[in-house]
Chains A and B, each alone.
Chain A
Amino acid sequence: MFETHTNKQKASHLLGDIIHRAAFPFVLFSAVLLGLLLLSWYLLLPRFTHVEVGGTMRDIHTMKTYREELIEQIAEVEGKRNGFLLPVRDSLYTVLKEEKTQTLDFLSLRRVLLQAADTLLPDTKNVVGIRTVSYDVQEGVVELVGRIQNVGPRSMTVLAQFVEALEDLSVVASIEHSRYTREEDQNSDFYSPFTLRLLLP
Protein backbone atom coordinates (compact mmCIF):
# COMPACT_ATOMS: atom_id res chain seq x y z
CA MET A 1 0.00 0.00 0.00
CA PHE A 2 2.81 2.36 0.81
CA GLU A 3 4.48 1.44 -2.52
CA THR A 4 1.27 2.19 -4.55
CA HIS A 5 0.98 5.60 -2.93
CA THR A 6 4.63 6.27 -3.73
CA ASN A 7 4.15 5.18 -7.39
CA LYS A 8 1.18 7.49 -7.79
CA GLN A 9 3.18 10.37 -6.35
CA LYS A 10 6.03 9.57 -8.68
CA ALA A 11 3.64 9.58 -11.77
CA SER A 12 2.10 12.93 -10.90
CA HIS A 13 5.59 14.42 -10.36
CA LEU A 14 6.55 13.10 -13.79
CA LEU A 15 3.52 14.68 -15.53
CA GLY A 16 4.11 17.94 -13.75
CA ASP A 17 7.76 17.86 -14.79
CA ILE A 18 6.79 17.23 -18.42
CA ILE A 19 4.35 20.09 -18.43
CA HIS A 20 6.79 22.36 -16.64
CA ARG A 21 9.55 21.54 -19.07
CA ALA A 22 7.30 21.77 -22.14
CA ALA A 23 5.69 25.04 -21.13
CA PHE A 24 8.32 27.39 -22.43
CA PRO A 25 8.80 25.65 -25.83
CA PHE A 26 5.01 25.48 -26.19
CA VAL A 27 4.61 29.19 -25.48
CA LEU A 28 7.49 29.92 -27.83
CA PHE A 29 5.96 27.78 -30.58
CA SER A 30 2.48 29.33 -30.17
CA ALA A 31 3.93 32.83 -30.16
CA VAL A 32 6.00 32.18 -33.29
CA LEU A 33 3.01 30.55 -35.04
CA LEU A 34 0.79 33.47 -34.08
CA GLY A 35 3.44 35.94 -35.23
CA LEU A 36 3.91 34.21 -38.56
CA LEU A 37 0.18 34.03 -39.17
CA LEU A 38 -0.17 37.70 -38.28
CA LEU A 39 2.61 38.56 -40.73
CA SER A 40 0.90 36.41 -43.35
CA TRP A 41 -2.44 38.12 -42.72
CA TYR A 42 -1.14 41.64 -43.03
CA LEU A 43 1.70 41.23 -45.52
CA LEU A 44 1.43 38.05 -47.54
CA LEU A 45 -2.30 37.44 -48.02
CA PRO A 46 -3.12 40.94 -49.35
CA ARG A 47 -0.56 40.41 -52.13
CA PHE A 48 -2.67 37.50 -53.39
CA THR A 49 -6.18 38.66 -52.54
CA HIS A 50 -6.07 42.38 -53.35
CA VAL A 51 -6.78 43.29 -56.97
CA GLU A 52 -6.31 46.56 -58.78
CA VAL A 53 -9.65 47.81 -60.01
CA GLY A 54 -10.31 51.36 -61.17
CA GLY A 55 -6.71 52.34 -60.37
CA THR A 56 -7.01 51.28 -56.73
CA MET A 57 -5.97 48.09 -54.92
CA ARG A 58 -9.09 46.59 -53.41
CA ASP A 59 -9.86 43.67 -51.17
CA ILE A 60 -13.00 41.63 -51.53
CA HIS A 61 -15.13 43.83 -49.27
CA THR A 62 -14.23 47.06 -50.97
CA MET A 63 -14.80 45.37 -54.34
CA LYS A 64 -18.34 44.49 -53.27
CA THR A 65 -18.96 48.06 -52.12
CA TYR A 66 -17.48 49.42 -55.35
CA ARG A 67 -19.77 47.14 -57.38
CA GLU A 68 -22.85 48.45 -55.54
CA GLU A 69 -21.72 52.04 -56.14
CA LEU A 70 -21.18 51.36 -59.86
CA ILE A 71 -24.64 49.80 -60.21
CA GLU A 72 -26.21 52.79 -58.49
CA GLN A 73 -24.35 55.26 -60.70
CA ILE A 74 -25.27 53.32 -63.83
CA ALA A 75 -28.97 53.40 -62.91
CA GLU A 76 -28.76 57.15 -62.30
CA VAL A 77 -26.96 57.97 -65.56
CA GLU A 78 -29.21 55.59 -67.49
CA GLY A 79 -32.25 57.47 -66.18
CA LYS A 80 -30.67 60.72 -67.30
CA ARG A 81 -29.88 59.25 -70.72
CA ASN A 82 -33.43 57.92 -71.13
CA GLY A 83 -34.70 61.39 -70.40
CA PHE A 84 -33.03 62.59 -73.58
CA LEU A 85 -34.65 59.85 -75.70
CA LEU A 86 -38.06 61.48 -75.34
CA PRO A 87 -37.15 65.12 -75.13
CA VAL A 88 -40.33 66.86 -73.94
CA ARG A 89 -40.25 67.44 -70.19
CA ASP A 90 -43.49 69.33 -69.72
CA SER A 91 -45.05 67.52 -66.75
CA LEU A 92 -48.71 67.86 -67.75
CA TYR A 93 -47.93 66.76 -71.30
CA THR A 94 -45.94 63.79 -70.03
CA VAL A 95 -48.77 62.66 -67.75
CA LEU A 96 -51.45 62.99 -70.44
CA LYS A 97 -49.25 61.29 -73.01
CA GLU A 98 -48.57 58.36 -70.68
CA GLU A 99 -52.28 57.96 -69.97
CA LYS A 100 -52.96 57.96 -73.71
CA THR A 101 -50.22 55.55 -74.70
CA GLN A 102 -50.93 53.14 -71.85
CA THR A 103 -54.47 52.67 -73.16
CA LEU A 104 -54.80 50.41 -76.16
CA ASP A 105 -55.82 52.48 -79.18
CA PHE A 106 -59.07 51.60 -80.88
CA LEU A 107 -57.46 50.95 -84.25
CA SER A 108 -55.14 48.26 -82.92
CA LEU A 109 -57.85 46.77 -80.70
CA ARG A 110 -60.38 46.52 -83.53
CA ARG A 111 -57.81 44.86 -85.79
CA VAL A 112 -57.07 42.20 -83.18
CA LEU A 113 -60.76 41.45 -82.66
CA LEU A 114 -61.56 41.34 -86.38
CA GLN A 115 -58.62 39.03 -86.96
CA ALA A 116 -59.92 36.68 -84.28
CA ALA A 117 -63.30 36.71 -86.05
CA ASP A 118 -61.82 36.18 -89.54
CA THR A 119 -59.58 33.29 -88.53
CA LEU A 120 -62.18 31.40 -86.49
CA LEU A 121 -63.17 29.10 -89.33
CA PRO A 122 -60.77 29.93 -92.15
CA ASP A 123 -62.54 27.65 -94.64
CA THR A 124 -65.89 29.36 -94.24
CA LYS A 125 -66.47 32.99 -95.13
CA ASN A 126 -68.27 35.55 -93.05
CA VAL A 127 -68.89 33.31 -90.06
CA VAL A 128 -68.73 36.06 -87.47
CA GLY A 129 -70.87 39.00 -88.52
CA ILE A 130 -69.99 41.87 -86.20
CA ARG A 131 -72.61 44.58 -86.43
CA THR A 132 -71.36 46.96 -83.75
CA VAL A 133 -68.09 47.47 -81.90
CA SER A 134 -68.17 50.00 -79.10
CA TYR A 135 -65.28 50.88 -76.81
CA ASP A 136 -65.57 52.74 -73.53
CA VAL A 137 -61.98 53.81 -72.91
CA GLN A 138 -62.44 54.95 -69.30
CA GLU A 139 -64.18 51.76 -68.24
CA GLY A 140 -61.89 49.58 -70.35
CA VAL A 141 -64.87 47.74 -71.84
CA VAL A 142 -65.56 46.72 -75.44
CA GLU A 143 -68.99 45.57 -76.51
CA LEU A 144 -69.40 43.40 -79.61
CA VAL A 145 -72.84 42.90 -81.07
CA GLY A 146 -73.35 40.55 -83.98
CA ARG A 147 -74.17 37.02 -84.93
CA ILE A 148 -72.63 33.71 -85.90
CA GLN A 149 -73.93 32.69 -89.31
CA ASN A 150 -73.27 30.48 -92.35
CA VAL A 151 -72.43 27.44 -90.23
CA GLY A 152 -75.84 25.76 -90.18
CA PRO A 153 -77.21 24.21 -86.98
CA ARG A 154 -73.88 24.35 -85.14
CA SER A 155 -73.99 28.12 -84.74
CA MET A 156 -74.09 27.90 -80.92
CA THR A 157 -70.99 25.68 -80.89
CA VAL A 158 -69.16 28.11 -83.14
CA LEU A 159 -70.27 30.99 -80.89
CA ALA A 160 -68.70 29.19 -77.93
CA GLN A 161 -65.52 28.75 -80.00
CA PHE A 162 -65.52 32.46 -80.81
CA VAL A 163 -65.87 33.38 -77.14
CA GLU A 164 -62.94 31.06 -76.34
CA ALA A 165 -60.84 32.60 -79.11
CA LEU A 166 -61.50 36.06 -77.71
CA GLU A 167 -60.67 34.94 -74.15
CA ASP A 168 -57.30 33.72 -75.41
CA LEU A 169 -56.37 37.18 -76.68
CA SER A 170 -53.83 39.03 -74.56
CA VAL A 171 -55.84 42.25 -74.95
CA VAL A 172 -58.90 40.69 -73.27
CA ALA A 173 -59.01 40.05 -69.51
CA SER A 174 -62.46 38.47 -69.35
CA ILE A 175 -65.78 38.25 -71.21
CA GLU A 176 -69.30 38.67 -69.94
CA HIS A 177 -71.73 36.63 -71.96
CA SER A 178 -74.60 34.55 -70.85
CA ARG A 179 -76.89 33.78 -73.72
CA TYR A 180 -76.36 31.06 -76.29
CA THR A 181 -79.36 30.71 -78.60
CA ARG A 182 -80.01 29.49 -82.07
CA GLU A 183 -82.52 31.23 -84.28
CA GLU A 184 -83.74 31.08 -87.84
CA ASP A 185 -83.85 33.99 -90.23
CA GLN A 186 -86.36 34.55 -93.01
CA ASN A 187 -84.33 32.27 -95.34
CA SER A 188 -84.52 29.47 -92.73
CA ASP A 189 -80.78 29.76 -92.10
CA PHE A 190 -79.59 29.23 -88.56
CA TYR A 191 -77.70 31.91 -86.69
CA SER A 192 -76.73 32.71 -83.09
CA PRO A 193 -76.92 36.35 -82.04
CA PHE A 194 -74.46 37.61 -79.43
CA THR A 195 -73.72 40.61 -77.28
CA LEU A 196 -70.31 40.21 -75.71
CA ARG A 197 -68.80 42.53 -73.12
CA LEU A 198 -65.03 42.29 -73.19
CA LEU A 199 -63.24 43.59 -70.14
CA LEU A 200 -59.72 44.80 -70.96
CA PRO A 201 -56.78 44.40 -68.58
Chain B
Amino acid sequence: MVGMVFLGGASKLLFMHTQTIMEVKDVSIPLVAELPRLERRLTVLKEQVELSELSSATRLGSQEERVRVFALPEKADLDRLLAFFEVLREILERNGQLAEMSSVEVGDSKVLADGANARPVSVGFVVHEDGLETVMLLMHLAGLLTVGDILSEEEITLIVDRVEQENPVAVTTLEQFFSVDILKYAQNSKLYEEQLKRSISSTSVINAFQNVLRASLLRDTKRYLGSDLGSVLERYKLWPLQFMRTEHVEVEQGGAEGWYRLNIGLQIYSRSQD
Protein backbone atom coordinates (compact mmCIF):
# COMPACT_ATOMS: atom_id res chain seq x y z
CA MET B 1 0.00 0.00 0.00
CA VAL B 2 2.70 2.45 1.03
CA GLY B 3 4.72 1.39 -1.99
CA MET B 4 1.75 2.09 -4.27
CA VAL B 5 1.39 5.57 -2.79
CA PHE B 6 5.09 6.26 -3.32
CA LEU B 7 4.85 4.93 -6.88
CA GLY B 8 1.80 7.14 -7.56
CA GLY B 9 3.72 10.17 -6.32
CA ALA B 10 6.73 9.26 -8.44
CA SER B 11 4.51 8.92 -11.54
CA LYS B 12 2.99 12.34 -10.94
CA LEU B 13 6.43 13.88 -10.56
CA LEU B 14 7.61 12.19 -13.72
CA PHE B 15 4.62 13.62 -15.59
CA MET B 16 5.36 17.10 -14.22
CA HIS B 17 8.97 16.77 -15.31
CA THR B 18 7.85 15.94 -18.85
CA GLN B 19 5.43 18.87 -18.93
CA THR B 20 8.03 21.30 -17.70
CA ILE B 21 10.55 20.20 -20.31
CA MET B 22 7.96 20.59 -23.05
CA GLU B 23 7.06 24.06 -21.75
CA VAL B 24 10.69 25.07 -21.86
CA LYS B 25 10.79 24.23 -25.54
CA ASP B 26 7.45 25.79 -26.49
CA VAL B 27 7.12 28.77 -24.16
CA SER B 28 10.32 29.64 -22.33
CA ILE B 29 12.58 29.89 -25.34
CA PRO B 30 10.34 32.40 -27.20
CA LEU B 31 9.84 34.34 -23.95
CA VAL B 32 13.58 34.52 -23.34
CA ALA B 33 13.95 36.06 -26.82
CA GLU B 34 11.08 38.51 -26.31
CA LEU B 35 11.73 39.79 -22.78
CA PRO B 36 15.04 41.61 -23.45
CA ARG B 37 13.42 43.37 -26.42
CA LEU B 38 10.52 44.53 -24.24
CA GLU B 39 12.93 45.70 -21.55
CA ARG B 40 14.93 47.70 -24.10
CA ARG B 41 11.76 49.30 -25.47
CA LEU B 42 10.65 50.30 -21.97
CA THR B 43 14.07 51.81 -21.25
CA VAL B 44 14.02 53.80 -24.51
CA LEU B 45 10.49 55.07 -23.85
CA LYS B 46 11.41 56.15 -20.32
CA GLU B 47 14.43 58.04 -21.69
CA GLN B 48 12.22 59.75 -24.29
CA VAL B 49 9.75 60.80 -21.60
CA GLU B 50 12.55 62.17 -19.41
CA LEU B 51 13.98 64.21 -22.29
CA SER B 52 10.52 65.44 -23.24
CA GLU B 53 9.76 66.48 -19.66
CA LEU B 54 12.94 68.54 -19.58
CA SER B 55 12.35 70.28 -22.88
CA SER B 56 8.60 70.74 -22.76
CA ALA B 57 8.15 72.63 -19.51
CA THR B 58 8.45 76.02 -21.24
CA ARG B 59 6.89 74.90 -24.46
CA LEU B 60 3.76 73.50 -22.83
CA GLY B 61 3.15 76.62 -20.82
CA SER B 62 3.41 78.98 -23.79
CA GLN B 63 1.20 76.82 -25.99
CA GLU B 64 -1.50 76.63 -23.34
CA GLU B 65 -1.34 80.39 -23.05
CA ARG B 66 -1.77 80.83 -26.82
CA VAL B 67 -4.85 78.63 -26.68
CA ARG B 68 -6.36 80.77 -23.93
CA VAL B 69 -5.50 84.09 -25.53
CA PHE B 70 -6.07 83.43 -29.23
CA ALA B 71 -7.65 80.08 -30.14
CA LEU B 72 -10.21 79.82 -27.35
CA PRO B 73 -10.41 83.16 -25.55
CA GLU B 74 -12.93 83.90 -22.85
CA LYS B 75 -15.12 85.79 -25.32
CA ALA B 76 -15.42 85.80 -29.10
CA ASP B 77 -13.18 88.57 -30.41
CA LEU B 78 -15.35 89.97 -33.19
CA ASP B 79 -12.98 92.87 -33.93
CA ARG B 80 -10.21 90.44 -34.63
CA LEU B 81 -12.50 88.23 -36.70
CA LEU B 82 -13.65 91.11 -38.89
CA ALA B 83 -10.09 92.40 -39.22
CA PHE B 84 -9.09 88.95 -40.43
CA PHE B 85 -11.77 88.92 -43.15
CA GLU B 86 -10.78 92.42 -44.21
CA VAL B 87 -7.14 91.42 -44.57
CA LEU B 88 -8.15 88.29 -46.42
CA ARG B 89 -10.25 90.29 -48.84
CA GLU B 90 -7.46 92.79 -49.41
CA ILE B 91 -4.82 90.17 -50.14
CA LEU B 92 -7.01 88.05 -52.40
CA GLU B 93 -8.18 91.11 -54.34
CA ARG B 94 -4.60 92.28 -54.75
CA ASN B 95 -3.65 88.86 -56.12
CA GLY B 96 -6.60 88.85 -58.53
CA GLN B 97 -8.20 85.92 -56.72
CA LEU B 98 -11.30 87.64 -55.38
CA ALA B 99 -13.97 89.64 -57.20
CA GLU B 100 -16.42 90.14 -54.39
CA MET B 101 -16.97 89.46 -50.68
CA SER B 102 -20.32 89.73 -48.93
CA SER B 103 -20.85 91.23 -45.50
CA VAL B 104 -19.91 89.04 -42.56
CA GLU B 105 -23.02 88.06 -40.65
CA VAL B 106 -22.64 87.11 -37.01
CA GLY B 107 -25.49 85.46 -35.14
CA ASP B 108 -26.29 85.09 -31.46
CA SER B 109 -24.12 82.93 -29.29
CA LYS B 110 -25.23 79.66 -27.75
CA VAL B 111 -23.73 77.50 -25.04
CA LEU B 112 -22.81 74.00 -26.11
CA ALA B 113 -22.90 70.74 -24.15
CA ASP B 114 -19.13 70.78 -23.53
CA GLY B 115 -19.31 74.26 -21.97
CA ALA B 116 -17.94 76.11 -25.00
CA ASN B 117 -19.67 79.09 -26.48
CA ALA B 118 -20.37 79.22 -30.24
CA ARG B 119 -21.56 81.99 -32.54
CA PRO B 120 -22.68 81.35 -36.12
CA VAL B 121 -20.90 83.35 -38.83
CA SER B 122 -21.73 83.38 -42.52
CA VAL B 123 -19.88 85.00 -45.38
CA GLY B 124 -19.85 84.73 -49.17
CA PHE B 125 -17.19 85.24 -51.81
CA VAL B 126 -16.82 85.33 -55.55
CA VAL B 127 -13.38 83.82 -55.95
CA HIS B 128 -10.98 82.22 -58.32
CA GLU B 129 -9.89 78.60 -57.68
CA ASP B 130 -6.78 79.67 -55.73
CA GLY B 131 -8.84 82.09 -53.68
CA LEU B 132 -11.34 79.36 -52.91
CA GLU B 133 -8.58 77.03 -51.74
CA THR B 134 -7.03 79.78 -49.63
CA VAL B 135 -10.31 80.58 -47.90
CA MET B 136 -11.18 76.93 -47.21
CA LEU B 137 -7.69 76.16 -45.95
CA LEU B 138 -7.83 79.08 -43.52
CA MET B 139 -11.25 78.00 -42.27
CA HIS B 140 -9.82 74.56 -41.58
CA LEU B 141 -6.68 75.95 -39.90
CA ALA B 142 -8.61 78.48 -37.79
CA GLY B 143 -7.80 77.74 -34.15
CA LEU B 144 -5.08 75.19 -34.87
CA LEU B 145 -1.69 76.20 -33.56
CA THR B 146 1.04 73.74 -34.50
CA VAL B 147 2.21 71.44 -37.25
CA GLY B 148 1.10 68.45 -35.18
CA ASP B 149 -2.42 69.87 -35.01
CA ILE B 150 -2.70 69.78 -38.82
CA LEU B 151 -1.57 66.19 -39.27
CA SER B 152 -4.03 63.35 -38.79
CA GLU B 153 -3.54 60.73 -36.10
CA GLU B 154 -2.59 58.16 -38.77
CA GLU B 155 0.04 60.47 -40.25
CA ILE B 156 1.56 61.18 -36.84
CA THR B 157 1.59 57.50 -35.88
CA LEU B 158 3.23 56.58 -39.17
CA ILE B 159 6.05 59.08 -38.77
CA VAL B 160 6.59 58.35 -35.06
CA ASP B 161 6.76 54.58 -35.61
CA ARG B 162 9.22 54.89 -38.50
CA VAL B 163 11.47 57.39 -36.69
CA GLU B 164 11.39 55.37 -33.48
CA GLN B 165 12.46 52.20 -35.28
CA GLU B 166 15.38 53.97 -36.87
CA ASN B 167 16.53 56.19 -34.02
CA PRO B 168 14.45 56.37 -30.82
CA VAL B 169 16.26 59.47 -29.59
CA ALA B 170 15.12 61.34 -32.73
CA VAL B 171 11.53 61.21 -31.42
CA THR B 172 12.43 64.23 -29.28
CA THR B 173 13.36 66.16 -32.44
CA LEU B 174 10.07 64.99 -33.92
CA GLU B 175 8.21 66.44 -30.93
CA GLN B 176 9.90 69.75 -31.58
CA PHE B 177 8.83 69.59 -35.23
CA PHE B 178 5.23 68.87 -34.28
CA SER B 179 5.17 71.81 -31.88
CA VAL B 180 6.31 74.39 -34.49
CA ASP B 181 3.79 77.17 -35.01
CA ILE B 182 1.86 76.76 -38.28
CA LEU B 183 2.65 80.22 -39.60
CA LYS B 184 6.35 79.95 -38.71
CA TYR B 185 6.45 76.59 -40.46
CA ALA B 186 4.71 77.95 -43.57
CA GLN B 187 7.23 80.77 -43.81
CA ASN B 188 10.34 78.67 -43.04
CA SER B 189 9.33 75.13 -43.89
CA LYS B 190 12.72 74.11 -45.26
CA LEU B 191 14.48 75.12 -42.03
CA TYR B 192 12.27 72.95 -39.83
CA GLU B 193 12.18 70.02 -42.23
CA GLU B 194 15.98 69.99 -42.58
CA GLN B 195 16.38 70.14 -38.80
CA LEU B 196 14.31 66.98 -38.49
CA LYS B 197 15.98 65.21 -41.42
CA ARG B 198 19.42 65.77 -39.86
CA SER B 199 18.42 63.56 -36.92
CA ILE B 200 17.29 60.78 -39.28
CA SER B 201 19.83 58.94 -41.41
CA SER B 202 17.60 56.31 -43.02
CA THR B 203 16.50 57.15 -46.57
CA SER B 204 13.30 55.12 -46.23
CA VAL B 205 12.25 57.08 -43.13
CA ILE B 206 13.03 60.40 -44.83
CA ASN B 207 10.97 59.28 -47.83
CA ALA B 208 8.05 58.32 -45.57
CA PHE B 209 8.31 61.74 -43.93
CA GLN B 210 8.37 63.50 -47.34
CA ASN B 211 5.32 61.51 -48.46
CA VAL B 212 3.37 62.65 -45.42
CA LEU B 213 4.41 66.27 -46.08
CA ARG B 214 3.29 66.00 -49.70
CA ALA B 215 -0.04 64.26 -49.04
CA SER B 216 -1.18 66.18 -45.98
CA LEU B 217 -2.57 69.69 -45.58
CA LEU B 218 0.96 70.85 -44.78
CA ARG B 219 1.56 71.20 -48.50
CA ASP B 220 -1.35 73.62 -48.91
CA THR B 221 -0.32 75.39 -45.72
CA LYS B 222 3.16 76.05 -47.11
CA ARG B 223 1.73 77.22 -50.43
CA TYR B 224 -0.93 79.61 -49.18
CA LEU B 225 0.32 80.74 -45.77
CA GLY B 226 3.90 80.92 -46.92
CA SER B 227 2.92 83.73 -49.29
CA ASP B 228 2.29 87.40 -48.51
CA LEU B 229 -0.98 86.46 -46.78
CA GLY B 230 0.96 84.85 -43.94
CA SER B 231 3.24 87.87 -43.57
CA VAL B 232 0.31 90.28 -43.42
CA LEU B 233 -1.54 88.16 -40.86
CA GLU B 234 1.60 88.12 -38.75
CA ARG B 235 2.20 91.87 -39.15
CA TYR B 236 -1.31 92.72 -37.98
CA LYS B 237 -1.11 90.11 -35.20
CA LEU B 238 -4.10 88.26 -36.59
CA TRP B 239 -2.50 84.82 -36.21
CA PRO B 240 -3.36 82.43 -34.58
CA LEU B 241 -6.99 82.69 -35.55
CA GLN B 242 -9.81 82.04 -33.15
CA PHE B 243 -11.18 78.52 -33.29
CA MET B 244 -13.71 78.15 -36.09
CA ARG B 245 -15.49 75.12 -37.51
CA THR B 246 -17.15 74.96 -40.88
CA GLU B 247 -20.79 73.92 -40.63
CA HIS B 248 -21.75 74.09 -44.29
CA VAL B 249 -20.13 75.12 -47.57
CA GLU B 250 -21.59 75.74 -50.98
CA VAL B 251 -19.51 76.22 -54.10
CA GLU B 252 -21.29 77.19 -57.27
CA GLN B 253 -19.69 77.46 -60.70
CA GLY B 254 -19.31 81.11 -61.64
CA GLY B 255 -19.87 82.77 -64.96
CA ALA B 256 -16.23 82.64 -66.02
CA GLU B 257 -13.98 79.61 -66.19
CA GLY B 258 -12.18 78.99 -62.88
CA TRP B 259 -14.40 81.37 -60.88
CA TYR B 260 -16.82 80.31 -58.19
CA ARG B 261 -19.43 81.65 -55.81
CA LEU B 262 -18.48 80.40 -52.33
CA ASN B 263 -20.81 80.57 -49.33
CA ILE B 264 -19.65 79.42 -45.93
CA GLY B 265 -21.43 78.94 -42.62
CA LEU B 266 -19.13 78.64 -39.59
CA GLN B 267 -19.19 78.52 -35.84
CA ILE B 268 -16.67 80.64 -33.93
CA TYR B 269 -15.82 79.31 -30.46
CA SER B 270 -14.94 80.86 -27.13
CA ARG B 271 -14.88 79.62 -23.57
CA SER B 272 -17.86 81.25 -21.99
CA GLN B 273 -20.94 83.29 -22.69
CA ASP B 274 -20.37 86.60 -24.46
Q: Is A107 an interface residue (CB 8 A)?
A: yes
| 9-residue interface stretch from B91-99, B136-144, B189-197, B198-206 | B136-144
The answer to whether A90 and B72 have CB atoms under 8 Å apart is: yes
Q: Is A33 an interface residue (CB 8 A)?
A: yes
In chain A, positions 116-161 with a C-beta closer than 8 Å to chain B are 129-138
A88 partner, pick from B10, B64, B156, B171, beta carbons under 8 A: B64
Q: Is A169 an interface residue (CB 8 A)?
A: no
In chain B, positions 115-147 with a C-beta closer than 8 Å to chain A are 115-116, 133, 136-137, 139-140, 143-146
The answer to whether A131 and B252 have CB atoms under 8 Å apart is: yes
In chain B, positions 2-34 with a C-beta closer than 8 Å to chain A are 2-7, 9-10, 13-14, 16-17, 20-21, 23-24, 27-28, 31-32, 34
The answer to whether A107 and B140 have CB atoms under 8 Å apart is: yes
Q: Is A105 an interface residue (CB 8 A)?
A: yes
Given contacts A60-B24, A77-B49, A96-B269, contact A132 B253 (CB under 8 A): yes
**Which B residues are CB-close (under 8 A) to A18?**
none
Given contacts A60-B28, A107-B133, contact A31 B6 (CB under 8 A): yes
Q: Is B148 an interface residue (CB 8 A)?
A: yes
A34 partner, pick from B13, B16, B143, beta carbons under 8 A: B13
Q: Is B235 an interface residue (CB 8 A)?
A: no
A108 CB to nearest B CB, Å:
7
Q: Which residue of chain B lies nearest to A145 when distances are taken between CB atoms in the complex?
A: B252
The answer to whether B6 and A85 have CB atoms under 8 Å apart is: no
B interface with A by C-beta (< 8 Å) = 2-7, 9-10, 13-14, 16-17, 20-21, 23-24, 27-28, 31-32, 34-36, 38-39, 41-42, 45-46, 48-49, 52-53, 56, 59-60, 63-64, 67-68, 71-72, 114-116, 133, 136-137, 139-140, 143-146, 148-149, 152-153, 156, 160, 171, 174-175, 178-179, 217, 220, 243, 245-253, 269, 271
13 more contacts with CB within 8 A, not counting A93-B67, A97-B144, A105-B246, are: A54-B35, A60-B24, A60-B27, A70-B39, A87-B179, A89-B64, A90-B64, A92-B114, A92-B271, A96-B243, A106-B246, A107-B220, A108-B217
